Amino acid sequence: MARRKFVCGNWKMHKTAAEATALVKELAAGVAEAARAGEVQVAVAPPFTALHAVATALAGTGIELAAQDVHWEAQGAFTGAISAAMLADACCTHGIVGHSERRQLFGETDEGVRRKAAALLGAKIRPIVCVGETLAEREADRTLEVVGRQVRQGLQGLSPEQLRQLTVAYEPVWAIGTGRTATAAQAQEVHAALRKILRELGGPVADEVRIQYGGSVKPENAAELMSQPDVDGALVGGASLKAKDFLAIVKGALR
């Protein structure tokens, strides 16, 4: 079945509120027409401190707002954490969980990903669940084993209807911020394997779930990657910080 392409820019720890608003204004004119026409779904994920300012700037543009992380508890003594209700209050429609940087640098676990995804769903926010293997795991031919475990454990217990609400993002760790990118064939192989696992978990709903590719997505490779049958968009890091590059990637989704 045809799945609408979904491109999300993950700004990571970049941009003050003023800088984020300026970038949104640059993006708006280029993205709005395609987004409003429903040709491609576009979102940006600024840092927490810029969410409210960006939400205001995004009004009427067709671009949606995503958060970079969330805590699974509704409230409590969790210094520095942000709840799903707080993200909903900031007008977020999507939330990234399980990003490799959270896994590697902050001890994110598959169980934590599962709990965070459930918390987002409970607040009517759509999770973007990230999975991906390290270079050592790929060289050991363990890619499908690793991403398979991450998907099965990260989505364990979710109903088919809940699965329908989320996006999976395949981000090979060895390609994030390194300039190295999986070939279109490599990306398709993993995406097809992920789709098969989603069928095990949710049956026919798997054909509705978008699977993004992330990992040094650039204007030069975006169209080829997203032309693959199971690559349904992109989770874009560094290239999303420059309006010209991000707009070129969005255009690549339209081909």
Active site residues: 99, 171
* Contact status, residue 214 vs residue 170, Cβ threshold 8 Å: yes
CA 114 from centroid of its chain's CA atoms: 15
Q: How far is CA 254 from the centre of its chain?
A: 18
Query: Based on the number of CB atoms within 10 Å of its own CB, is 208 exposed (0-12), middle (13-18) or buried (19 or more)?
Result: middle
Beta-sheet strands, E only, within 82-149: 94-97, 126-131
Q: Check if the beta carbon of residue 205 is closer than 8 Å to that of residue 165.
A: no
Which whole-number Å values give the CA distances from 193 to 22, 24, 186, 231, in the listed order? Answer: 39, 35, 11, 12
Report the amino acid identity of residue 242: K
Q: How many CB atoms lie within 10 A of CB 105?
A: 9
Q: Is 205 helix (H, G, I), strand (E, B) or coil?
A: helix
